[in-house]
Amino acid sequence: MFDPLVTLPDAAPTSGSWIVIDDRLNVMTVESDRGTAVFPTGETSPVGGAPHLLGTQDGVPIWAVRGDASMIDEAAFGDAFEDAQWTHLRGLFGVLPDEEWVLAGRAAQVLTWDRDHQFCGRCGTKNEAHATDRAKVCPSCSLMSFPRLSPAVIMLVERDGPSGPEVLLAWGRAFPGRFFSALAGFVEPGESLEECVVREVKEECGIDVDDVRYFRSQPWPFPHSLMIGFTARYVSGDITIQEEEIVEAGWFSPNELPPVPRGGMSIAGWLIDDWLARLSAS
């Protein structure tokens, strides 16, 4: 069980597990006797640098530290690094156990925040670590900077089409090949999550929706998003794509889906799988 902490209790062990990530979100892993990719353990950081305590997993401290292959302190960890590998966080999904992948994502977000908030955004003074909170504080003007989270909604729009149930899917310009997914967008200041769903669908595809319902959420550490999933129902409108964002969009029945995420690491795949499961159960 993971317990998020900023400081260790007095009775906590000094040895712990280290999550080492470089600035490109490559994670260092080593092989255990189980044959499963795990984080290295020891009493000191394997790459030096300033460690960040994430918390404890079943009482064992979990630390995050920024570094790369050139910085490994092999003397501190002996033979453990002979087979060390560096793999992008995305590529570790399904390789690491789910709990470890989530912890690696947490580490990536904390380290990105630490790198990007070295100085006060108000007066430019060098920030200092807060004593008890996961925050940085400016010694000059007292501005506190907490880890950044960028909330984004992702929504699967459903309707009863001419031949049966359909969902609205789009091929975004961020995808190099023809690949469709649910619509998504970042929440703006002063906007509720539900208002963002309605606005983003209208902006990207010209469709009006209602009956916006929460689905589930997912931390998305690329680099610091929180994805909040919804379903919504079609009300009116013809598809008119926002060309700077969307290549192609359309209504698709369950038997005519284009290339889409299914399950896997993304909430988009979970939304599509949930829709298909609900259709099968009805």
Q: Note whether 5 and 56 are within 8 A (CB).
A: yes
- If one looks up domain 150-281 in CATH, what number appears? 3.90.79.10
Residues 6+ apart with CB under 8 A from 165: 158, 159, 253, 254, 279
The domain ranges of the chain are 2-115, 117-147, 150-281
Report the pLDDT averaged over residues 2-26. Answer: 88
Whole-number pLDDT of residue 70: 79
Which pTM does this prediction carry?
Answer: 0.89
**What tens digit of pLDDT does each residue of 221-235 get?**
998 999 999 999 999
Whether 74 shows a pLDDT value over 80: the answer reads no
At the topology level, CATH places domain 2-115 in Nucleoside Triphosphate Pyrophosphohydrolase (3.90.79)
Core vs surface per residue 63-86: b (16+ CB within 10 A) or e: bbbbbeeebbeeebbeebbeebee
**What tens digit of pLDDT does each residue of 243-273 get?**
999 999 999 999 999 999 988 889 999 999 9
What is the rounded average pLDDT for all residues in the chain?
A: 91
**What tens digit of pLDDT does each residue of 193-221 get?**
999 999 999 999 999 999 999 999 999 99
Model confidence at 37, in pLDDT bands (50, 70, 90)? low
C-alpha torsion angle, residues 54, 55, 60, 65 (rounded to 10): 10
Which long-range contacts does 268-271 make (Cβ < 8 Å, 24+ apart)? 268/154, 268/181, 268/182, 268/184, 270/215, 270/216, 270/218, 270/229, 271/154, 271/155, 271/156, 271/182, 271/215, 271/229, 271/231
C-alpha torsion angle, residues 13, 14, 17, 21 (rounded to 10): 140
**The domains spanning 2-115 and 150-281 adopt the same CATH topology:** yes
- What is the torsional sign of CA 46, 48, 54, 55? positive
- Residue 16 backbone class (left: φ over 0; alpha: ψ -120 to 50; beta: rest): beta
Structure tokens of 136?
Answer: 């940085």
Whole-number pLDDT of residue 95: 83
